[in-house]
Amino acid sequence: MNRLPRHDHYIAGEWTAPAEGEWFASVNPATAEPWYEAANGTAADVERAVGAARAAFEDPRWRDLSQTRRGRLLRTLGDLIGEHAEELARTESLDNGKLLREMRAQLAGLPEYFYYYAGLADKIQGEVIPGASRELLNYTLREPVGVVGAITPWNSPLLLTATKLAPALAAGNTMVIKPSEHTSASLLALAPLFERAGFPPGVVNVVTGFGATAGGPLTEHRDVAKVSFTGSTGTGRRIARTCADRLIRCTLELGGKSPNIIFPDADLGSAAMGVIAGVFAAAGQTCVAGSRVLVHREVYDEILERVSARAATIAIGDPLDDATELGPLAIAEQLEKVESYVDLGRSEGGKVVCGGARPDTGLGGYFYSPTVFTGVDNTLRICQEEIFGPVATVMPFDSEEEALSIANNSAYGLAAGVWTRDVNRVHRMAARLEAGTVWANTYRSMSPMSPRAGFKNSGMGTEHGTEVVREYTRLKSVWINT
Ligand code: NAD
């Protein structure tokens, strides 16, 4: 049997074999076949990677580089990502089952993250503080924090890495990134571009491996000054506790159970499509999935009919095929989780109006049909817990107040959608929805320029936009007796 391609860690600009000499297989979710092996990182690998990042932080080639030049490196990295877009898109599609055409669209926008923070790099500055007396000059320095540990999930490895990498580097930090054990390939394909862009070795390092054995040591390492994490709320809590013990900062982008709310005056065709794209894109494996669909009773039947009719015709299959509309779930455990939630929903009294089973694609991967539940109450577990799969729960409401109450009755607060032609209602809802992002007559729009934050159990801190720079810098106050 042919050996699978084997990938090492990327440390100090070199492919570095794992200290324990172990690799693990990663599976293509469309076929359930292993397709490469990644290094099984341990504390010893983390030690080497953090050491390299620490040395790079002190290296005059990075430390003394002008902020404008730092921006230029980010711009070059963005250009290189653009040049390698097809390879990166294909690699991630094979690794997590996302549609290739969706990945191509994502890659077309990915350089923007680097261009945006390239433009910001030389605008990160302190200020002169008005003094209490003429004899004292007081000013602030906005400094990088040091080595940043970044930990990412499997649903969108490149994008979720870029949102950390670009601002952290713009601010002058160095990084160790640990991708999900399920999806190391696209980040490993990106790694050689760091040095080709001109970043000194060690500025960005990649250690692959599992949460407990590679992620844990990274968050616990004495030289890691900040952790930036995207993933589940449970892991986020654990990481926050570690950071609290160490008194270091962390940014957490966590799970969601977002409401998508349709009023009777909405353009119902667009709203139905917004529901479909909101919850079934990436087979429901997006943190912002609009998995709780709230529909005004006047249009409930019509929306339910449109959504379930379209959901039943969604083309399920090979993510590399342009005709496919829904690919597999990224990992076997996720398929089992979705199945168990659908069983739970049925046992809780919910009615499956479409989907609710594994389709027969003949591909052998982790596919699940788009599923729509009715007859559910917002207090049920399938309406309260994040499923992270192609499962929508549709619930009626009678008034704006009731819609708000159902929408906000959730432990999460990541995103919300509102569909209405009434602009006053949009403002009222936007003001009162407990969510870090509110979309009206659209869903899932995002941009590097627009801040993204999770309320409640959906996170802590901000990503994207200018604010994020504060999270990757520390402020020093300098007093001089003139
Ligand atoms: P996960 O929490 O299981 O794993 C995320 C990462 O954390 C992985 O790299 C994993 O190896 C690592 N990890 C696990 N245990 C760890 C530990 N003890 N210490 C350090 N690292 C550890 O999440 P997942 O299943 O990979 O991803 C799905 C979750 O991510 C969903 O909840 C989804 O909503 C969330 N997500 C959030 C956003 C957002 O922006 N808010 C975006 C995408 C995904």
- Residue 210 Cβ inside 6 Å of ligand 1? The answer reads yes
Mean pLDDT (whole number) for 112-137: 94
Mean pLDDT (whole number) for 224-238: 98
Mean pLDDT (whole number) for 56-75: 98
Give residue 2's pLDDT band: very low, low, confident or very high (50, 70, 90).
confident
Q: Which range is least confidently modeled, 48-52, 129-133, 440-444?
A: 129-133
Q: Which two tokens stand for residue 311?
A: 């959901």
Looking at the predicted structure, is the pLDDT value of residue 121 above 70?
Answer: yes
| Kind of pairing between the strands at 259-262 and 415-419 | parallel
325 is catalytic: no
Give residue 131's pLDDT band: very low, low, confident or very high (50, 70, 90).
confident
How far from 453 is each of 23, 230, 435, 462, 465, CA to CA, in Å?
35, 11, 8, 5, 11
C-alpha of residue 254 to centroid of ligand 1, in Å: 7
The pLDDT value given to residue 1:
58
Alpha carbon nearest to ligand 1 atom 32, residue = 232
Nearest in space to 92 (alpha carbons), one of 177, 27, 183, 192: 183
- Reply yes or no on domain 6-254+458-478 having CATH 3.40.605.10: yes
Q: What is the chain's mean pLDDT, rounded?
A: 97
Q: Which of 24, 252, 287, 366 to mutate to test the pocket of ligand 1 (most atoms within 8 A of CB)?
A: 287
Helix 268-280 and helix 297-313, axial crossing angle in degrees, nearest 10:
50
Domain ranges of the chain: 6-254+458-478, 259-440
C-alpha of residue 268 to centroid of ligand 1, in Å: 35
* Gap between the terminal Cα atoms of the chain: 76
The pLDDT value given to residue 28:
98
Per residue in 353-389, pLDDT tens?
Answer: 999 999 999 999 999 999 999 999 999 999 999 999 9
Ligand 1 atom at shortest distance from the alpha carbon of 219: 20
Alpha carbon nearest to ligand 1 atom 10, residue = 211
CA distance 20 to 46: 12
Per residue in 461-482, pLDDT tens?
Answer: 999 999 999 999 999 999 999 8
Please work out, in degrees rounded to the nearest 5, the angle formed at the alpha carbon of residue 166 by the alpha carbons of 236 and 43: 50
Q: What is the ipTM of this complex?
A: 0.96
Beta bridge pairs of residue 259: 292
Phi first, then psi: give them for residue 332, nearest 5 degrees. -60, -40
- Residue 455 Cβ inside 6 Å of ligand 1? The answer reads no
How far from 125 is each of 68, 269, 473, 474, CA to CA, in Å?
12, 48, 10, 11
Interior/surface letters 453-464, b for 16+ CB within 10 angstroms, e for the rest: bbbbbbbbbbbb
Nearest in space to 184 (alpha carbons), one of 149, 205, 157: 157
Neighbours of 253 (CB within 10 A): 27
CA distance 234 to 288: 17
Looking at the predicted structure, is the pLDDT value of residue 117 above 80?
Answer: yes
Percent of the chain residues topping a pLDDT of 90: 98
Q: Which of 113, 230, 329 to mutate to test the pocket of ligand 1 (most atoms within 8 A of CB)?
A: 230
Neighbours of 423 (CB within 10 A): 9
Q: Which residues contact 28 (CB under 8 A, 6 or more apart)?
A: 34, 35, 94, 95, 97, 365
Q: Which two tokens stand for residue 374?
A: 């009715």
Looking at the predicted structure, is the pLDDT value of residue 135 above 90?
Answer: yes
Q: Which amino acid is at 424?
A: N
CA distance 157 to 159: 6
C-alpha of residue 238 to centroid of ligand 1, in Å: 11
Q: Are 434 and 406 in contact (CB under 8 A)?
A: no
Nearest in space to 166 (alpha carbons), one of 203, 201, 125, 126: 203
| Kind of pairing between the strands at 9-11 and 14-16 | antiparallel
Whose tokens are 């390299």? That residue is 52
What is the third-level CATH fold of 259-440? Answer: Aldehyde Dehydrogenase; Chain A, domain 2 (3.40.309)
The pLDDT value given to residue 232:
97
- Residue 317 Cβ inside 6 Å of ligand 1? The answer reads no
Of 37, 92, 253, 400, which is the active-site residue? 253
Q: Which residues contact 314 (CB under 8 A, 6 or more apart)?
A: 276, 280, 325, 326, 370
Beta bridge pairs of residue 454: none
CA distance 164 to 293: 31
- Residue 241 Cβ inside 6 Å of ligand 1? The answer reads no
Q: Which of 24, 155, 228 to mutate to test the pocket of ligand 1 (most atoms within 8 A of CB)?
A: 155
Per residue in 241-258, pLDDT tens?
Answer: 999 999 999 999 999 999
Per residue in 395-431, pLDDT tens?
Answer: 999 999 999 999 999 999 999 999 999 999 999 999 9
Give residue 32's pLDDT band: very low, low, confident or very high (50, 70, 90).
very high
The pLDDT value given to residue 133:
85
Looking at the predicted structure, is the pLDDT value of residue 132 above 80?
Answer: no
Q: Are 406 and 395 in contact (CB under 8 A)?
A: yes
> What's the farthest any 2 CA atoms get from each other in the chain?
79
The pLDDT value given to residue 58:
98
Q: Which residues contact 37 (CB under 8 A, 6 or more apart)?
A: 4, 5, 6, 7, 23, 24, 25, 26
